[in-house]
Amino acid sequence: MLDYDDESKERRQTVDSSLFYFEHEGPPAQFHRYPGMPDYCGPAIAAIAAVETAAIVISAASGIGVNTRRMYNVAKNYGLARMIIVTRLDAENANVADVFSSIQETFGLECHPINLPADGGKGVIDCLANDSGSADLLDVGECHTALIDRIVETDDTLMEQFMETGSVPPEKLGPAIGNAVAMGHLVPVLFVSAKHDVGVKELLDAIIRYAPSPLVGKKRTLVVGEGETATETVIEPDLEGDFVAQVFKITSDPKSNISTRSRACTAAR
């Protein structure tokens, strides 16, 4: 649906970016979708300035690619929240266990599964809600404990409760997970088979619950002036505040009728 430009349709591969939004049990989530091919990664790098979370998609069949490392590091160095989505669980040559361990090896132990593939890739099991169960890779109980451990590290009160009782009720973890994701202490890893609609609802749930809103995501700075006299102000998102915008992409639509538009502008003037 999003590959609507002629070149992408012809190549059957995304060459241009597209924007959309979806509503799923909460306020609308704004989405930017970018090509994965290294030759076309410029717009994705420019878009870092316009988003709170970078979701990096990795195929369970081909694993980490050249551009995966590059985009992950660009997002990390800029201070964005990150998520990793492992797709094509169902592919014949998928090797989810190897791909997952290479994700942790390459990007660190902050990359933590929020769910795991189960039933031979026919479903996913939630590692936060379940402290036991069977999955196609790893141990659900161990993943559950390690996940809670990582989340409570960012919150002293929850950490105390965890140390005293050995557990924290999942409903108390909600805001702490969002903060852990926003500060990059936790990078949720989710598993999906787009072809068989496996893990897709769970992915949308995770985006709505854990991807930071502009209120908790990376704060942008307004720079006025240049050189030594430049002033920098951190922009606090405020619905009642002044309008602030940043251009991150300029495009001209070859199908738009410019002469009609300029006539309309003349008439309006």
Ligand X SMILES: Nc1nc2c(ncn2[C@@H]2O[C@H](COP(=O)(O)OP(=O)(O)OP(=O)(O)O)[C@@H](O)[C@H]2O)c(=O)[nH]1
* Residue 235 sits in the site that holds ligand X (CB under 6 A): no
Extract the tokens encoding 215: 């209120």
Segment contacting Mg ion by CB under 5 A, of 8-16, 18-26, 152-160, 249-257: 8-16
When binding is defined by CB under 6 A, the residue of 5, 18, 31, 36 that contacts ligand X is 36
* Contacted by 115, from ligand X, Mg ion, none: CB < 5 to 8 Å by type: none
* Residue 59 sits in the site that holds Mg ion (CB under 5 A): no
Segment contacting ligand X by CB under 6 A, of 31-39, 183-191, 203-211, 242-250: 31-39
Contact positions with ligand X (CB under 6 A) in 136-195: 193-195
C-alpha closest to that of 140 among 153, 149, 127: 127
State the Cα–Cα distance between residues 89 and 224, nearest whole angstrom: 48
Nearest to ligand X of 37, 216 (CB atom): 37
Terminal-residue alpha carbon distance, the chain: 37
Nearest to ligand X of 55, 57 (CB atom): 57
Q: Is 206 exposed, middle or buried, given 0-12, 13-18 or 19+ CB atoms closer than 10 A?
A: buried
Min dist CB 89 to ligand X, Å, is 7
Contact positions with ligand X (CB under 6 A) in 48-107: 57, 87-88, 90-91
* Contacted by 87, from Mg ion, ligand X, none: CB < 5 to 8 Å by type: ligand X
- 56, 68 Cβ separation under 8 angstroms: yes
How many residues touch Mg ion under the rule CB under 5 A: the total is: 1
Contact positions with Mg ion (CB under 5 A) in 14-53: 14
122: left (phi over 0), alpha (psi -120 to 50) or beta: alpha
Distances (CA, A) of 168 to 7, 118, 174, 176, 211: 51, 25, 11, 11, 21
C-alpha closest to that of 44 among 20, 66, 70: 70
Between β-strands 187-191 and 111-113, what pairing exists: parallel, antiparallel or unpaired? parallel
Min dist CB 19 to Mg ion, Å, is 14
Residues that bind ligand X (CB under 6 A): 13-14, 35-37, 57, 87-88, 90-91, 193-195
Q: Give the residues lining the site for Mg ion (CB under 5 A).
A: 14
